Amino acid sequence: MARLNSPSPLRVGLCGAGMMGATHAAAYAGIPGAKLAAVWDTDLKRAEALAARFGGTVYAHRDDLIQAVDIVDICLPTPCHLEQIQAAAAKGKAVFCEKPLGRTLEECDAAIGACKRAKVPLLVGHVVRFFPEYRTLRNTILNGDLGDVGVLRMKRVVCSPGPAGSWYWDFEASGGCVLDTAIHDLDWLNWTLGRPASVYGVGFRDAPSLKDLAYLTLQWSSGAIAHLESSWSHDTFATSFEAAGRDGIAEFDLRDCAALQVAYTQAASDGGGNVVPESPLAKSPYQAELEHFVAVVRGAAKPLIKPEEAREAVELALACLDALRSRQPVRLPSRRGGPSARTAKPRARALPAAHPE
Ligand SMILES: NC(=O)c1ccc[n+]([C@@H]2O[C@H](COP(=O)([O-])OP(=O)(O)OC[C@H]3O[C@@H](n4cnc5c(N)ncnc54)[C@H](O)[C@@H]3O)[C@@H](O)[C@H]2O)c1
């Protein structure tokens, strides 16, 4: 604890040296209050390559890494999150974990419980909350500038995450495009409009080629509707939204405004990971997110993402998967209180004639 209050940079222990591990390592390089100190990965070569690029000592054993650092950052396949969160919390280390918090709600509950008992912060990488466009849209809606919002259309599509045969290709591990990719928008919708009353979806999955696609429809008890396109079947990364309210429409499309887009073929990549958006003009949202984590650990900021909200995002994604599987609308239990429930009420508009389910 004394170390967390000292002015020297916090020593970061990075678990996972794949695509997100590299993204986080690059982000820490721009954060004066933190320093990449240690890297661990079951693929030792990958850990060494990352440390050679960004610094830090490579550890062959996770527990040695945890011992050597102040904070632990988990960029591992989703089913590995819980074990590492528990190990870090047991040693009193603050935890940043990539989204989704867990593959199941039981994993989420166990992770939240471990950090609560250890009294350590747990922040989950719902990075879309740090993208200026999505933040601005949320503020615009919550300020009432669009009037009551009735319809939202959101899209997040990417190529099949590679390489072939990686953990992403095991649906039981990754949860496919809905749990892994659409969860960003689902979290944003929960955060902005509150929990929807029901979800419905259609899609297809071709396991051998890892083509996965879902069209999801979410409806709030007020009648407000969101349509969400999620895909691992495109050639590159694209994201967009359109929000229509009584008084106006807000639109964003990454393809219209990206200063630079680079798409690598999977064969050329070093294996692992999909595409993350980059901008040469602005501070990376990943850096903003990790800066926020460091500020939370130092007690200088209140967490922008509560662990329970990360659990709610998983809950909503799992409901969407249920709807896709059953081809039936799935109702979500109504929630008592919660920050997003409070914001939902005054903002979501009652449509004149909602379709009966
Ligand atoms: N926030 C975002 O924008 C975003 C984007 C992509 C992925 N993610 C999330 O980040 C996490 C990591 O994804 P990624 O794309 O970096 O995956 P990846 O496959 O690129 O990297 C995972 C790394 O973990 C290592 N690994 C695998 N099993 C391990 C184990 N049991 N113990 C230790 N190391 C192990 C692998 O060797 C690999 O280096 C996932 O939860 C994913 O959902 C977040």
Does residue 299 lie within any of the structural domains?
no
For ligand 1, atom 40, which residue shows the shortest CA distance? 77
For residue 163, being part of any structural domain is answered with yes
Residue 140 shares a structural domain with residue 15: no
Given a cut of 70, is residue 348 above it in pLDDT? Answer: no
- Chain mean pLDDT for the chain: 89
Q: What is the pLDDT of residue 272?
A: 47
Average pLDDT estimate for 16-22: 97
User: What amino acid occupies position 263?
Assistant: A
Among 14, 15, 20, 279, say which to mutate for ligand 1: greatest number of ligand atoms within 8 Å of CB: 20
Residue 52 domain-assigned (yes or no): yes
pLDDT per residue over 121-160, tens digit each? 999 999 999 999 999 999 999 999 999 999 999 999 999 8
- pLDDT in the model for residue 283: 81
Is residue 92 scored above 80 in pLDDT?
Answer: yes
pLDDT for 212 equals 95
Q: Which CATH number covers residue 13?
A: 3.40.50.720
Confidence of residue 163 (pLDDT cuts 50, 70, 90): confident
Which of 108, 125, 142 is where one domain is finished?
Answer: 125
Asked whether residue 29 is domain-assigned, the answer is: yes
Within this chain, do residues 85 and 107 fall inside the same structural domain, yes or no? yes
pLDDT for position 256: 84
Contact between 23 and 286 under an 8 Å Cβ cutoff? The reply is: yes
- What is the dihedral sign for C-alpha 282, 144, 185, 215? negative
195 & 316 share domain: yes
Where residue 15 falls (left for φ over 0; alpha for ψ -120 to 50; beta otherwise) is beta
Task: Clarify whether residues 134 and 106 are in a common domain.
Answer: no
Give the rounded percent of residues in the chain with a pLDDT score beyond 90: 78
- Give the per-residue pLDDT at 208: 85
Our CA angle for 273, 274, 279, nearest 5°, is: 120
Q: Is residue 311 part of a domain?
A: yes
Instruction: Tell how far CA 257 is from the center of its chain.
Output: 22
Establish whether residue 273 lines the binding site of ligand 1, counting it when its CB lies within 6 angstroms of any ligand atom: yes
* Residues 179 and 316 grouped into a single domain: yes
pLDDT in tens, 99-123: 999 999 999 999 999 999 999 999 9
Q: Which residues pair with 245 in a beta bridge?
A: 149, 248
Q: How many whole angstroms from 196 Cα to the centroid of ligand 1? A: 29
Assigned domain for 289 exists: no
* Element (DSSP H or E) covering residue 348: none
241 lies in the same domain as 138 = yes
pLDDT in tens, 257-313: 766 666 665 544 444 456 666 665 568 999 999 999 999 999 999 999 999 999 999
For residue 290, is it within any domain? no
Q: Which of 125, 148, 166 is the last residue of a domain?
A: 125
**Percent of the chain whose pLDDT exceeds 70:** 86
Who contacts 350 (Cβ-Cβ below 8 Å, separation ≥6)?
Answer: 222, 223
- Do 99 and 201 lie in one domain? The reply is no
The CATH number covering residue 318 comes to 3.30.360.10
| Identity of the amino acid at 114 | A
Domain count, the chain: 2
Tally Cβ neighbours within 10 Å of residue 271.
Answer: 15
- Whether 98 and 169 map to the same domain: the answer is no
Q: In angstroms, what is the span from residue 146 Cα to ligand 1's centroid? A: 38
- Token code pair at residue 12: 């970061």
CA distance 200 to 330: 6
> Final residue of a domain: which of 125, 153, 170?
125
Q: How far apart are CA 70 and CA 65, in angstroms?
A: 10
162 phi, psi to nearest 5 deg: -110, -175
Q: pLDDT at position 45, please?
A: 97
**242 shares its domain with 313:** yes
Residue 296 belongs to some domain of the structure: no
Q: At what angle do helices 307-326 and 105-118 cross, to 10 degrees?
A: 170
What is the strand order of the sheet 225-231 is part of?
Answer: 248-253, 238-245, 149-157, 225-231, 211-219, 198-206, 330-331
What are the C-alpha distances in Å from 149 to residues 145, 250, 340, 351?
A: 10, 10, 15, 10
As a whole number, mean pLDDT of residues 30-43 equals: 97
Q: Which tokens sit at 287?
A: 């850096």
Among protein residues, the one with the nearest Cα to ligand 1's atom 41 is 78
Q: Which domain holds residue 32?
A: 2-125
152 and 120 co-located in one domain: no
Residues 71, 191: one domain? no
**46 and 114 part of one domain:** yes
Angle at Cα 206 formed by Cα 241 and Cα 104, nearest 5°?
Answer: 70
SS3 174: helix
Place of tokens 């004066």: 32
The whole-angstrom distance between residue 349's C-alpha and the CA centroid of its chain comes to 27
DSSP SS3 for 240 = strand
The pLDDT assigned to 259 comes to 66
Distance of alpha carbon 7 from alpha carbon 11, whole angstroms:
12
Tell me the per-residue pLDDT of 175-209, one tens digit each, with 9 for 90 and over: 999 999 999 999 999 999 999 999 999 999 988 88
Q: Say which residues have a Cβ less than 8 Å from residue 25's Cβ, sequence separation at least 6.
A: 14, 17, 36, 39, 50, 53, 54, 56
Q: Which of 83, 97, 98 to mutate to test the pocket of ligand 1 (most atoms within 8 A of CB)?
A: 98
